[in-house]
A and B are shown apart, each in its own frame.
Chain A
Amino acid sequence: MAIDQRLLPLHSARIRRAEFPAGYFKLGDAGLIAGAIAVVCILSILYLAQTGRVATAGYRLQELEQQHTELLREAEQYEYRIAQASRLDAIAARAQALGLRPATSEQQRYTTIEVPAVAVVATSN
């Protein structure tokens, strides 16, 4: 069966365009320049917006890094204070301040703890 080309959508659109005056869709020189300027402006605005966002994010990142550094310094200070507080001299002094004293040899008691025998259950496959 033969196909009527005129019924196809692309073909019919081409026919419709051909009905417009010649040069209807063509831009003049001024139009081209105006269009180019518009495109450059839009791209510039997009670029500036993007750059602004990156810069803002950069400053935020910088602030966070600064916070991170300060927190690390704070953590270091705490670690240092913990290490100082872990000095055996300091612990002994604190214990004595609490009224504790080293056990004398007479006070030491040794107890032997009998460990109950553990039953071993043999298994086989």
Chain B
Amino acid sequence: MAQLSAPQRTPVTRVRINVLLLAVACITILLAQQLVKIQVYQELKGRQLGELAQNELTRHDVLQPRRGTIYDRNGVALAMNVNMPSLYVDSTKIKQPEKLALLLAPLINKDPAEVLAILSDKEREWTRLARWISTDAAQQIETFTAGGDFGDGVWLIPEAQRAYPQGEFASRIVGVANHEGVGISGVEAYYDEEIKGITGKLQAERSGSADQQPIWIAPKEIIEPQDGIAVKLTIDSTVQKLVEDELRRVVEEQQAEGATILVMEPSTGEVLGMASWPTFDPNKYTEYEPEVINRNNALTDAYEPGSTFKVIVAAMGLQTGAFTPETTVPDTGVIRRYGYGIGNWNRAGNGNLTPGMMLYHSSNVAALLFGEMVGRDDFYKFVKLFGYGQETGIDLGGEGVGIVNWPEDNPDGWSDLTLDTNSFGQSIAVTPIQHLTALSAIANGGLLMWPHVVKEKCEGTRCTPVQPRVVRRVVDQGVTDALRSMMTKNAEHYANLIWGPSTGNWKDQPLVPGYRVSAKTGTSQIAVNGVYDSNSVIGSVVGFAPSDNPRVSILVKIDRPKRAQWGIEAAIPVYHRVVTKLMSHFRIPPDPSYVSEGQVIGGPR
């Protein structure tokens, strides 16, 4: 049996081994050097390189919260979020730009030449042609680009838009959130922090697909966004519609420069309706001047309340005991004080007047005398207690404080004459919301309520009601009872303006047949450069209804009416219509016995 011999081994010289070892050592040293250079000394250190590599894989997204919806008190959405399509184009991938421009231009309300310039500019890879186009327009664009005739450079991408489905309706209260989602006026601004919510964060590895959507093998971090709260307003849409319609009507009829109508629930301070002229559409807020958007005339405009302030003077006198409902003062038509002659509107006297008859005749002389009886200290104490010269704290931004010449703050500017003129509503300026809040205290039995426009705040399905807040008691119930009676008689005094032409009865009669309502009018002069403008006035009415258990308090203010010589002629018809419709809206049963000859409940139309 043959034996296999072992293979003969070739001897390796020591030199060769050493050469090989040397070569390996050199290579190892070179590699180590490169490693150290990259990991330790190179400008981009190893950790940074790692982060860069990770960033290539990882997608960082900000998760936007949903801005809270704003509803009226009945749950109708006034401001909400809608994702509307925006049109983007990649000009490098567009075919037949001329034809495409002609098709797109009318759908996005742009000039075809302007669109063509963008589509033909091959330097632009990503351009937004139009933001938030209508869904109808988007569908048409999808239809004619679906075939690929125009390339694949047209994109419709949904983008969140703050939408106001009611348009101009209640825009002064709701306000505006700008295109960046920041509230800039109204409730949108005042409650911005709560409505806007808190942004979230997503950090995850992304897919290699074109949309680079996150993949979920190892999501590293997700902080969910917190949606903003929804708010339900105190605004009653029917009341708001009613006051907006009346506002528009009176501005047109009287060719007035402006107007404000406010409706409040006196027992709670809830604002049921608030309308000011001019109005604006928050969906197109960029088309308006900033002062139109940012200014809510019901909160900012300071005006002399005129004779409507006499109600406040009567209240303070009755409360302090300076006079009683039976106290009389002589109304001589004109009275001299500190070198000035101060008179009634017609400079005619009315004899001895009680506080009630002072209101009835709207006597400046009697108001001055009653104001003097109250005295400086009590007068301004109650001006402050009623909330004048200070913010009401309403939950809307930009509120003014009016102008009160306080004797202690301005001893040089204040004089006894200031007290006299303040007594009939001159030399003092109030904001509509201040004045209505003060009047509501008389309507509700003497409590100054905090006026507010938000009724509920909701996080998901959990809603927290905003509780009405009593600021302070201003006058006693007995005082307000007396005043309500006086103001009801006052309202009957204005009724002939409404009913005289149709019934021929020019005597006092129910202003709103079937309902005892309270009212006090005022015609205020407008100071221009320190001098009263003899050609223009502000006509206003404040009141509440029904008188015995007020459901609503109302302020109507018309700026510079052109048709009516006196403010009352412009404001009382508006007040009458508003009260008539509100009584019907709130289903308050009329008293059939409180109707004068020829009057119709709910009329005249």
- The answer on a CB contact under 8 Å between A87 and B592 is no
Q: A79-B77, A87-B165 are in contact. Are A54 and B217 (CB under 8 A)?
A: yes
Contacts of B214 in A (CB 8 A): 62
Is the CB of B215 closer than 8 A to any CB of chain A?
A: yes
- The answer on a CB contact under 8 Å between B81 and A62 is no
Output the residue of A76, A87, A89 with the most chain B CB within 10 A.
Answer: A76
Is the CB of B497 closer than 8 A to any CB of chain A?
A: no
Contacts of B217 in A (CB 8 A): 51, 54-55, 58
How near does chain B come to A46, taking the closest CB pair, in angstroms? 16
- The answer on a CB contact under 8 Å between B80 and A76 is yes
Q: Which residue in B169, B241, B601 is a CB contact (below 8 Å) of A108? A: B601
Within 8 A of B (CB), among A28-57: 51, 54-55, 57
Within 8 A of A (CB), among B132-178: 135, 158, 163, 165-167, 169
Contacts of B238 in A (CB 8 A): 88
Overall SS of chain B's interface: loop
Chain B, Cβ-Cβ closest to A63: B213
Q: Which residue in A55, A80, A108 is a CB contact (below 8 Å) of B602? A: A108
Is the CB of A84 closer than 8 A to any CB of chain B?
A: yes
Is the CB of A19 closer than 8 A to any CB of chain B?
A: no
A105 to B600, CA, bound (A): 7
Chain A, Cβ-Cβ closest to B590: A110
Contacts of B215 in A (CB 8 A): 55, 58-59, 62
Chain B, Cβ-Cβ closest to A54: B217
A-B contact count (CB 8 A): 72
Q: A57-B216, A58-B217, A105-B603 are in contact. Are A112 and B80 (CB under 8 A)?
A: no
Is the CB of A97 closer than 8 A to any CB of chain B?
A: no
Contacts of A86 in B (CB 8 A): 76-77, 165
- The answer on a CB contact under 8 Å between B165 and A80 is yes
Contacts of A112 in B (CB 8 A): 589
Is the CB of B518 closer than 8 A to any CB of chain A?
A: no
Number of contact residues on A: which range applies?
20 to 34
Contacts of A110 in B (CB 8 A): 589-590, 592, 601
- The answer on a CB contact under 8 Å between B80 and A79 is yes
How near does chain B come to A21, taking the closest CB pair, in angstroms? 29
Is the CB of A15 closer than 8 A to any CB of chain B?
A: no
Q: Mark B572-604, 1 if CB is under 8 A from A, else 0.
A: 000000000000100001101000000011111
Q: A79-B77, A86-B76 are in contact. Are A106 and B600 (CB under 8 A)?
A: yes
A55 to B81, CA, bound (A): 33
- The answer on a CB contact under 8 Å between B82 and A80 is yes
How near does chain A come to B249, taking the closest CB pair, in angstroms? 15
A59 to B602, CA, bound (A): 66
- The answer on a CB contact under 8 Å between A105 and B601 is yes
Contacts of B589 in A (CB 8 A): 110, 112
Is the CB of A73 closer than 8 A to any CB of chain B?
A: yes
- The answer on a CB contact under 8 Å between A83 and B602 is no
Q: Which residue in B77, B158, B216 is a CB contact (below 8 Å) of A73? A: B158
How near does chain B come to A97, taking the closest CB pair, in angstroms? 18
- The answer on a CB contact under 8 Å between B135 and A83 is no
- The answer on a CB contact under 8 Å between A76 and B237 is no
- The answer on a CB contact under 8 Å between A105 and B82 is no
Is the CB of A77 closer than 8 A to any CB of chain B?
A: yes
A87 to B217, CA, bound (A): 48
How near does chain A come to B66, taking the closest CB pair, in angstroms? 9
How near does chain A come to B563, taking the closest CB pair, in angstroms? 25
How near does chain A come to B98, taking the closest CB pair, in angstroms? 33
Q: A79-B80, A104-B605, A110-B590 are in contact. Are A88 and B165 (CB under 8 A)?
A: no
How near does chain B come to A92, taking the closest CB pair, in angstroms? 9
Is the CB of A13 closer than 8 A to any CB of chain B?
A: no
Q: Mark B78-101, 1 if CB is under 8 A from A, else 0.
A: 101111000000000000000000
Contacts of A89 in B (CB 8 A): 241
- The answer on a CB contact under 8 Å between A87 and B169 is yes
Q: Which residue in B83, B165, B584, B601 is a CB contact (below 8 Å) of A84? A: B165
Contacts of A73 in B (CB 8 A): 83, 158
Chain A, Cβ-Cβ closest to B600: A105
Is the CB of A95 closer than 8 A to any CB of chain B?
A: no
Contacts of B76 in A (CB 8 A): 83, 86
How near does chain A come to B75, taking the closest CB pair, in angstroms? 9
How near does chain B come to A116, taking the closest CB pair, in angstroms? 18
21 contacts between A and B (CB under 8 A): A58-B215, A59-B215, A62-B213, A62-B215, A73-B83, A73-B158, A76-B83, A77-B83, A77-B135, A79-B80, A80-B80, A80-B82, A86-B165, A87-B167, A88-B169, A89-B241, A105-B600, A105-B601, A106-B600, A106-B603, A108-B584
Interface residues of A (CB under 8 A from B): 51, 54-55, 57-59, 61-62, 73, 76-77, 79-80, 82-84, 86-89, 104-106, 108, 110, 112
Interface residues of B (CB under 8 A from A): 76-78, 80-83, 135, 158, 163, 165-167, 169, 213-217, 237-238, 241, 584, 589-590, 592, 600-605
Question: A-B pairs with the 7 shortest C-beta distances?
Answer: A58-B216, A105-B602, A83-B165, A105-B603, A83-B77, A84-B165, A88-B241
